[in-house]
Chains A and B, each alone.
Chain A
């Protein structure tokens, strides 16, 4: 009986889950019983064998990608509203009513009163409700927001749907001035981050244009969505070497961005210009005290590759 109890509890002992008194009892028994001692040793050895296999941590890239995907989904996700919570949880209602006689009688009274009132009022009112649609007169005014941007892979034609007073659509190539203006507007102002991502994606192909680069830098520094920031960062990558404004913007992202995926990408981009004085300064700060151990170690590695300067 005792041995059987010990066998069942050895695994708990190995995992440190045994209560103090039970642990004492087990240790006492094992000291006297050779069979159980052998069993404990076998379990400990097995535990040591398993311990060589660790569950790997998620890579920073996977964490960043998962967060981005979630943020995108959250933009359209709806929370269960306060009202629906009240309306669709009758069990909870009953629980509350059970403990609150005042609430119960209030509901009863409201029920009676409501029933009487609707009997008299509901029928005449029900015939008057006609829903008025918005006026559909197309007027040319400024743009209110952009709904979608898409590009046909066959023709390279870009379609942008945007809201004015009426909805309009503009088609043209990326070289089209109007299309460019709309894309720049979308990158700056649009309420839908999916559209901002699309516009930054297309603008990236024209990052030789100074105005486009400014829009991309603006997005990198101000966009609330890390996906948009990452896209603009990638688009700016080629200019880190030649355009000091771009370099400064990337460095600012590297220091200030709250998304580690963006920061890791920024660190990768400044790699070719790591010998630059301003870059070296930032790297030293990161190597000394960055909260991300990955960035800290990468910054150290990059610094170590630099020639010493006196």
Chain B
């Protein structure tokens, strides 16, 4: 009950902020950004794999939102709207990376070593159990390798559902498709992942 009331409060709060931002109030827009930006960064970080790219997606997404907020007509929630902008930018990023990957089959970091997503992310739990930590790193590397093989859209649906816990109905709205299509895409993505990671179990 309290959760629902808090949700409603946030909605009212956001509506006021959106209206203010539409009138050109930059402070209101910045406040709105603060309501969503940590989730946006987390999504972009996991999808792009580097802080630099995640920051670029963040910057482009909110600038685009700022420039276009006048066109926001409350036909969907602001949450869906902002996620739509972010996922479109991430999809562009994934597509571009897929093209680049055809030139260089293995992604390399600047020093020439093979690229490992988990090396980019500091693990605060490290130290407690080095062996388990190593296992987790290896698992993470295998999983991100398998994720790379999905199509950008499959990857996006899986990402939003699995790592960010969104409802498939919302995923469909964000990607401007039906819930049914999102379900089918999730099915295909997990089938592929299970195939790629079959030896891990």
Contact = CB atoms under 8 A, between A and B. Distances in A.
Interface of A: 8, 11-12, 15, 17, 42-43, 45-46, 49-50, 52-59, 62-63, 65-67, 69-71, 73-74, 77-82, 85, 89
Given A17-B168, A54-B163, A85 B46 contact: no
Given A15-B186, A53-B140, A55-B42, 12 more contacts: A42-B201, A49-B139, A49-B200, A55-B45, A62-B54, A63-B38, A66-B55, A67-B30, A70-B58, A70-B63, A71-B30, A85-B70
23 contacts: A8-B187, A12-B187, A43-B190, A52-B136, A53-B136, A53-B139, A54-B163, A55-B159, A55-B163, A56-B122, A58-B38, A59-B122, A62-B54, A63-B37, A66-B41, A70-B33, A70-B63, A73-B59, A73-B63, A77-B66, A80-B68, A85-B70, A89-B71
Contact of B45 (A17, A58, A82): A58
A50 B143 contact: yes
A57 B38 contact: yes
Contacts of A15: 161-162, 168, 186
A45 B62 CA distance: 38
A58 B139 contact: no
B58 A46 contact: no
B16 interface: no
Q: Which bracket fits the contact residues of B?
A: 35 or more
Interface in B68-90: 68-71
Contacts of B37: 63, 66-67
A228 to B, nearest CB: 15
B42 A70 contact: no
A49 B198 CA distance: 11
Contacts of A42: 194, 201
